[in-house]
Chain A
């Protein structure tokens, strides 16, 4: 089939570049990586790209394809074009990291973030005498997602928070953090969760699902971030805006069935956080003026007179019973 490529180029000397266009003839089974290698071998030897295993194991060939991060070796050209040979595939280097040349990015910030979460298990106690640690199957099954991570950087490339805040620990490292925190052998869970709950950590994720979408290995980093949030709250690490936001939100639904938007801000930032509350005041007044501040929600959730949907007693019964749905936590088997 005829394959049209539009490839972003960057000159390492000047940092400048543009797009190069290539048109090649390739069999229908061609992957994007095959196509790019064909271009480099036969059309343009100056094209730089990074690759190794060609089978989605090494994680070297992540790049942006038609606007989203993918492993080039895992993307069939025929699927990218939906069979339309006129479709020109746009290939760019990963986002959120500096470009060295063409499709090759500098992964240093990626690795720095991984190191930042201290990604090694630190057991509290030594293993039983003459034995190894024994861990229940289900605990390890829960971690298989994160163990599948090949550190390709796709999730970091397309993370929408990292775009506006380079300090955000970002999906790959947070998923790696879950790999460790979720391991029953680790003895530093509380300390880790406390650190991860700080600014730039688990609560700064917008839950946009971009990392879930682009991850080629099913790690679903955002879902791991949600698990970390659940664990942090369970551990009582709630003195931060993120955990307070979750608490007031849940309280609002359990109390009235629907979200009480008026009390979300004071409930999250802290009622007596004068600096933050005063930041929000002009916005609240603008909403009031536009008739968008729901007066029916003036009473905070949990206080008599707060707004409730009809039949709330049935919702409350469901809330009480839903506790039985919680799975039991796997524990390390003692010697």
Chain B
């Protein structure tokens, strides 16, 4: 699939339209540069992020089925830019695939809008699109400024990894290595650390602030200790806790941390020659200047 034009129904998620506008801007910019066409679903709703599911799982299933049906109406696979969206969408797909009667009831409701969902829609995070559909060789050929000289730690976000049996690992067993593969493809060095597949703590920030910040602070500290210049994540919720809450995590854990956290498309954009400002790298809570200074091509930024 690496030579034909790539088109996706695009679900941007809530956070890229809210507290992480830099993710939305950089995704759109990078997709354009890579020649990936995104048809935004501007009337789709939140996946529920596992939270609506705590109160009303059936509502969450119906909302997600509606989004799937919107993509199917366009005849396109669905792309998201959030690990949490990916996990929830995959879970709902799995549930609907296994229960025809339930799916029928949901389709009755969707019918009011002229929508219908048939199981089998391809739903992919941008990370999976990049590796499986676009191709890393093609990405490498587009790298204008290899990011050699910086060391980047991957941070996956739980729901793009677990539960693995519903996340397509049978067909794509390396999905838990893609971030490392992308970091290498753009010429940077991978920092391996234990926290990379753990929880950032974001879901309980307003419930148990201390635990939440300890989780974020510990992972950042571990990666920084092992020499990371930045972390990269395909999940904006992780980004919120690791970036926006980093000063609070620092104060609580007393770890001496100051580590830029970048979104996956920003990492790609830096390597294929997009201006950091066009990806709002100057709109992070933890300044990315230190990181850019390590790259000769941006030293003047």
* Residues in A lying within 8 Å of B, measured CB to CB: 67, 160-161, 163-165, 168, 199, 203-210, 212-213, 220, 226, 229-230, 233, 241-242, 245-247, 249-250, 253, 257-261, 264-265, 268-269, 276, 279, 282-283, 286-287, 290-294, 297, 309-311, 314-315, 317-319, 321-326
B209 closest partner in A (C-beta): A279
B19 → A minimal CB distance (Å): 5
> Distance (Å) between the CB of A183 and the closest chain B CB?
20
Most buried by A among B19, B20, B110, B245: B19
A260: chain B residues within 8 A (beta carbon): 18
Structural contact, A233 and B206, CB atoms closer than 8 A: no
Q: A206-B199, A209-B159, A259-B14 are in contact. Are A325 and B105 (CB under 8 A)?
A: yes
In the complex, what distance in Å separates the CA atom of A233 from the CA atom of B50?
15
Which residue of A is nearest B66, CB measured? A318
| Complex: A275 Cα to B20 Cα, angstroms | 27
Contacts of A205 in B (CB 8 A): 204
Kindly list chain B residues whose C-beta atoms are within 8 Å of the C-beta of A250.
Answer: 51-52, 55-56, 59
Docked-complex contact B211 and A165, CB < 8 angstroms: yes
Determine the distance from Cα of A282 to Cα of B109 in the docked complex, in whole angstroms.
44
Task: Judge whether A259 and B247 touch: CB under 8 Å.
Answer: no
Q: Say yes or no: is B214 at the interface (Cβ < 8 Å to chain A).
A: yes
Closest to A161 in B: B211
Is B43 on the interface with A (CB-CB < 8 A)?
yes
**Given the contacts A208-B158, A282-B247, A292 and B20 also touching, CB distance less than 8 Å:** yes
- Chain B residue with Cβ nearest A260: B18
Are B109 and A321 closer than 8 Å at their CB atoms? Answer: yes
Contact, CB under 8 Å: A258 / B43: no
CA separation between A297 and B56, bound complex, in Å?
A: 24
- Check if B170 is an interface residue, CB within 8 A of chain A: no
Find out whether the CB atom of B208 lies under 8 angstroms from the CB atom of A325: no
Q: A260 CB to closest chain B CB, in angstroms? A: 8
Q: Is the CB of A247 within 8 A of B55?
A: yes
A-B contact pairs, 22 of them (CB 8 A): A160-B215, A163-B218, A165-B214, A168-B211, A203-B208, A208-B199, A209-B158, A210-B158, A213-B161, A226-B54, A226-B57, A229-B55, A230-B54, A246-B51, A246-B54, A246-B55, A283-B248, A287-B285, A294-B18, A314-B112, A321-B109, A321-B112
Nearest Cβ in chain B — how far from A98, in angstroms?
A: 19
* Bound-state Cα–Cα, A281 to B42, Å: 31
CB contacts (< 8 Å) of B105 on chain A: these are 324-325
| Contact status A319-B207, CB under 8 Å | no
- Report the separation of the CA atoms of residues A229 and B51 in the bound assembly, to the nearest whole angstrom: 10
Interface SS, A side: helix
A258 and B214 alpha carbons, distance in the complex (Å) = 28
B283-A259 in contact (CB<8A):
no
| Closest residue of B by beta carbon distance from A212 | B163
Q: Which residues of B contact A67 (CB under 8 A)?
A: 194
Report which of B15, B52, B61 forms a contact with A325, defined as CB distance below 8 A: B61
Contact yes or no, A290 B162, CB < 8 A? no
Nearest 10 pairs of A and B residues by beta carbon: A325-B58, A268-B206, A209-B162, A208-B199, A259-B14, A164-B214, A229-B54, A294-B18, A208-B158, A160-B199
Chain B: CB-nearest residue to A164: B214
CA distance A249 to B164 in the complex (A): 26
Q: Which residues of B lie under 8 Å from residue A325 when comparing CB positions?
A: 58-59, 61-62, 102, 105-106, 109
Q: A210-B162, A283-B244, A310-B42 known; A249 and B63 CB under 8 Å?
A: no
